[in-house]
């Protein structure tokens, strides 16, 4: 007896995503060779493509399978890729999605300019939809991403960060693009105001959960997986949710440990294991996952305003699956 393959949103929108890819490479091919090479380098590494899929799926809920959702999904992928190019320069990263980063290969200057080019291309795509509201949504998201990155720099290497500041960071740098990716799909499909707000809520809350799980992965992986190395966040002293929650519950000796390893970056080879032991002691990972689960519940409930169809079912599944990912 054969076992049926479970169908995901990736399968449902396979043909639409091919059109997004065609749009991406058509625009990259039209520019100067080095810019095209840098942009293609990261895009060909094929991330999860969650953000453009969300744009397509939201429009699909309202039966819009026209060119406009394709254009917006392409713009969303360009914005996301641009932020990754800039992030890798700021973080001085060497690898992304299991391959060498653009800044490692071509240098910081070329990577920053390539990111700027992709941002510009994304706005050109938005204009082609003739939707001022979609343009407004994604342009505001682009601004908030940058604000989130600046805020992250301000709390960097500070374990004594308030949890509200952390959520301000991930709300800007991660969740906002998820929200706008969803919202813009509904906008071009002529959804009403209630549906537009619900779509943003769905995406924004998935984005919050997505980033929390990303933070958790750094302290729970047993082995390296593509694009994520064990303990990277800890080694860089990143102020993530597990660190903030652990700091709040730590005793004086443990807080001295966090100051030495996260704030001063004075680390030895046994420190990462000790950090994980502190988190285990206070059940920090479980607390993080509970918070992420709460956001997913809000996300799924936001879909109640939409008609019952296969796209809505897959959107619910995608939300739940985001809690179980390992990379």
Query: How many angstroms separate the CA atoms of 253 and 268, rounded?
Result: 17
> How high does pLDDT run on average in the chain?
90
Q: Does 2 have pLDDT greater than 90?
A: no
Q: pLDDT digit string (tens) for 164-181?
A: 999 999 999 999 999 999
Structure tokens at 57: 């799926």
pLDDT at 3: 41
The reported pLDDT for the residue numbered 103 is 86
Q: Check residue 313 and give its pLDDT.
A: 92
CATH number of 9-321: 1.10.600.10
Share of the chain above pLDDT 90, in %: 66
Q: Is the pLDDT of residue 250 over 50?
A: yes
Q: Once rounded to an integer, what is the mean pLDDT over residues 102-131?
A: 90
Q: Is the confidence at residue 259, as pLDDT, over 90?
A: yes
- C-alpha distances in Å from residue 180, one per residue of 90, 143, 175, 316: 24, 12, 9, 18
Mean pLDDT of the 283-291 span: 97
pLDDT reported for residue 6: 60
Look up the pTM and report it. Answer: 0.92
Q: What is the pLDDT of residues 52-84, one digit of tens each?
A: 999 999 999 999 999 999 999 999 999 999 998
Return the closest-CA partner of residue 50 out of 168, 238, 213, 190.
213
Higher model confidence: residue 277 or residue 34? 277
> Which position has the token pair 């799980």?
213
How many other CB atoms are found less than 10 A from the CB of residue 168?
17
């Amino acid at each position: 007896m054969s076992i049926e393959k479970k169908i995901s949103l990736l399968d449902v929108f396979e043909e639409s995503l091919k059109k997004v890819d065609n749009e991406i490479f058509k625009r990259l091919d039209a520019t100067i060779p080095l810019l095209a090479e840098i942009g293609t380098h990261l895009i060909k590494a094929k991330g999860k493509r969650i953000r453009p899929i969300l744009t397509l799926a939201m429009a699909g809920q309202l039966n819009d399978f026209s060119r406009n959702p394709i254009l917006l999904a392409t713009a969303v992928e360009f914005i996301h890729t641009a932020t990754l190019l800039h992030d890798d320069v700021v973080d001085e990263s060497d690898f992304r999605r299991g391959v060498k980063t653009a800044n490692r290969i071509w240098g910081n200057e070329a990577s920053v300019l390539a990111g700027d080019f992709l941002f510009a291309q994304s706005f050109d795509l938005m204009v082609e939809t003739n939707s001022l509201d979609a343009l407004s949504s994604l342009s505001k998201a682009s601004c908030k991403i940058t604000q989130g990155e600046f805020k992250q720099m301000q709390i960097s290497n500070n374990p004594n960060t308030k949890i509200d500041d952390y959520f301000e960071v991930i709300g800007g740098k991660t969740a906002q693009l998820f929200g706008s990716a969803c919202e813009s799909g509904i906008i071009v499909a002529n959804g009403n105001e209630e549906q537009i707000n619900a779509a943003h809520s769905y995406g924004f809350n998935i984005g919050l959960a997505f980033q929390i799980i990303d933070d958790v992965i750094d302290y729970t992986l047993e082995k390296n997986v593509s694009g994520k190395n064990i303990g990277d966040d800890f080694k860089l002293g990143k102020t993530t949710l597990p660190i903030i929650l652990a700091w709040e519950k730590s005793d004086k000796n443990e807080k001295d440990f966090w100051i030495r390893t996260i704030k001063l970056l004075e680390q030895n080879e046994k420190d990462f294991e000790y950090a994980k032991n502190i988190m285990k002691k206070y059940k920090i990972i479980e607390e993080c996952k509970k918070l992420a689960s709460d956001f997913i519940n809000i996300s799924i409930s936001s879909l109640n305003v939409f008609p019952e169809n296969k796209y809505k079912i897959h959107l619910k599944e995608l939300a739940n699956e985001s809690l179980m990912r390992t990379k």
